[in-house]
Structure 1
């Protein structure tokens, strides 16, 4: 935790209120961090952001719609995740009009953030669902991107290896809404996603969960974001048109989005390259920060 955490600010973007903060020199090259499913911007740890900013970038992180302190789309209702999953597993496409929003809409949110901050283009880094949003941004708004870094994300192709059963179970299980239950659940989820014991990270889980709880939980928003992932389908066939310089970072122990999913992105984006983080699961542990930051800084340079 930095001595002086940045001030959370708000902008109007794409018809929403988005919460964000920044690190580094305001005149440096902008680098935007997009977080994953149901996860607040604080999952991009302040010290991680500061180390990235120290490489010469204006680092911007924000809460996606329906999470943290950004707008909750409660009026959009609650999607039937069971039905959507059943259709997906049966190989049927989901009509985008049948869900509250898609990953393309969330990519447009990121563009709206850039508009509000008067940033013509930025380096875009996304993790998990955030990586998929960044891919959609490269497909739909290439002029707004200087580079793309897709971390532990998939192309969405249905023939790729699925999550390990335990990882899928923690993804779909409802989170408790009381403080003690939420903290315990968070600890359980992170232990599964990290794919192994890590005493240092496990000691940080409770305070991280407490902080997320204090900023605000939105279980319905989690469901809407998951519906957006399911309804957005595969990007594989379109990735060949991506012209943005692309880096893929993936852990070889990822139990939720197996590394073959990252390799699929590399295979289909012309000129993309991959950095494999040995032993990393579906998380950003401090032990992996240096190779991740080195890879991002090398790519955007």
Structure 2
């Protein structure tokens, strides 16, 4: 369903009975709310939670911002490398206020905030901007954004930055499958046919690469968050794959070090995705964390 939040339109999925404690799930770069595995959503609902998911701005069925233009990612990366200021079309804080606005639209006072990848960064921003709205924070395969942290593996970065030569639907699906295979969990591989079907289904729902570029610049421009995390007081769980080729495990370690009282759990064989085996291991840590702080 569509809601008005922070002055824009957001697509929101609300699962579970009102009156239950709420878990807000925030997805990562270019990913839609359907990127959250149904098994994870179902397990949380079965455990007695109300689960709210949203398409972040500029992606999926939420409001797009094409009028802001498409930034030059390479030029942005060059400026960041030399410490020059970057003006993104919008910020991660804007996206955090979108999430808070979605809670407002649904009449929800407080929620457990769970974010994956860029969604973890947005979740950190939610906890900084509106601490009274956050029952607990869970940051999955994410980062503090500190400048000294290791980058993605070169082959992954090349795939991310490469524009597919074949712009047909099959060509775009092939490119996405190659990328997801490159960042996937070596200990929990997803069969190619399943991955291909998932990519096609996501593309049928919405395909908006310009929004992904604007989100990417918002991530790069968020250079102060690492220093601000010392002020974060929400009970925090940091979950990270030890085999993550996109956001290396050191990023999870750094996030946990910067947040007072945060607990870090590394998952062997987990890359930068959420296959069934990884979901099972995440839930082993996530459910007690939520229960403790409900």
Please indicate, yes or no, whether the TM-score normalized by the shorter chain is above 0.5: yes
Alpha carbons of structure 1 residues 265 and 200: separation in structure 2 relative to 1, 3 Å: closer
Shift of 1:202: 2.8
C-alpha RMSD of the superposition:
1.5
Determine the structure 2 residue equivalent to 1:153: 142
Shift of 1:47: 2.4
Shift of 1:50: 0.8
Shift of 1:198: 5.2
Residue number among 154, 157, 160 corresponding to 1:171 in the alignment: 160
Alpha carbons of structure 1 residues 82 and 200: separation in structure 2 relative to 1, 3 Å: closer
Q: After alignment, is 48-57 or 114-123 more displaced?
A: 48-57
**Whole-Å Cα distance in 2 between the matches of residues 131 and 53 of structure 1?**
21
Residue number among 225, 247, 250 corresponding to 2:240 in the alignment: 250
Determine the structure 2 residue equivalent to 1:241: 231
1:68·1:215 contact (CA, 8 Å) conserved in 2? yes
TM-score normalised over the length of structure 1: 0.92
Determine the structure 2 residue equivalent to 1:11: 3
Residue number among 133, 157, 163 corresponding to 1:144 in the alignment: 133
User: Are 1:29 and 2:21 an aligned pair?
Assistant: yes
User: Are 1:50 and 2:42 an aligned pair?
Assistant: yes
Alpha carbons of structure 1 residues 177 and 70: separation in structure 2 relative to 1, 3 Å: farther
Determine the structure 2 residue equivalent to 1:75: 67
Unaligned 5+ segments in structure 2 are none
1:163·1:257 contact (CA, 8 Å) conserved in 2? yes
Residue number among 84, 94, 98 corresponding to 1:105 in the alignment: 94
Aligned residues: 290
Deviation per residue, 1:150-175 (Å, 9 max, x gap): 00001000111111101212222235
Determine the structure 2 residue equivalent to 1:6: none
2:188·2:277 contact (CA, 8 Å) conserved in 1? no
Give structure 1 regions of 4+ aligned residues with deviation exceeding 6 angstroms: none
**Whole-Å Cα distance in 2 between the matches of residues 93 and 117 of structure 1?**
40
**Whole-Å Cα distance in 1 between the matches of residues 121 and 43 of structure 2?**
24
Deviation per residue, 1:180-231 (Å, 9 max, x gap): 1122112101110015385544331111111111111111101100110111
Shift of 1:241: 0.6
Deviation per residue, 1:49-108 (Å, 9 max, x gap): 111211111011110001111100111111121111011223x1424xx22101000000
Shift of 1:296: 1.3
Residue number among 188, 204, 217 corresponding to 1:214 in the alignment: 204
**Whole-Å Cα distance in 1 between the matches of residues 113 and 91 of structure 2?**
19
Residue number among 85, 88, 97 corresponding to 1:94 in the alignment: 85
Deviation per residue, 1:94-147 (Å, 9 max, x gap): 24xx22101000000001100100101100000000000011111111111110
Alpha carbons of structure 1 residues 268 and 200: separation in structure 2 relative to 1, 3 Å: closer
TM-score normalised over the length of structure 2: 0.95
1:112-151 superposed matches below 5 A: 112-151=101-140
